[in-house]
Amino acid sequence: MVQKLDDAARAALLARFPDWRHEPDRDAIVRRFQFADFAQAFGFMTSVAIVAEKMDHHPEWSNVYNRVDILLTTHDANGLSERDARLAEAIEALL
Ligand SMILES: C[C@H](O)[C@H](O)[C@H]1CNC2=NC(N)=NC(=O)C2=N1
């Protein structure tokens, strides 16, 4: 079972990724990404999908034209875990 982050670890995660905000209702982190057009947004989603599948950790997300909204949380932990930190790091590295 994946461990949920404690308060100190959650604060450290948010400090490390200032472009993400905490969604307390879900104990998740969320970020909106904006691209030039749909092709760029969908290309980004394709890259994220490949990384997520490799990590066996998957985003909750939506896309409208050039915008991609991503929410990361760990269903198995019912909140944020190290797996979300690793996926956020990988997503940031794609930008
Ligand atoms: C069986 C499989 O490993 C699990 O269901 C994985 C898949 N992807 C996942 N993704 C996310 N975001 N949270 C999970 O708990 C999770 N669990």
62-89 pLDDT per residue, tens: 999 999 999 999 999 999 999 999 999 9
ipTM here: 0.95
Write the DSSP assignment of 30-70 as a string of letters.
EEEEE-SSHHHHHHHHHHHHHHHHHHT---EEEEETTEEEE
Q: Which residues contact ligand 1 via a Cβ below 6 A?
A: 56-58, 74-76
Q: For ligand 1, atom 13, name the residue with the nearest CA.
A: 74
| pLDDT tens digits along 27-42 | 999 999 999 999 999 9
pTM: 0.97
Residue 59 CA to ligand 1 centre (angstroms): 9
Residue 36 CA to ligand 1 centre (angstroms): 31
- Structure tokens of 81? 């875990």
- What atom in ligand 1 is closest to the CA of residue 60? 12
pLDDT surpassing 90 at residue 93 = yes
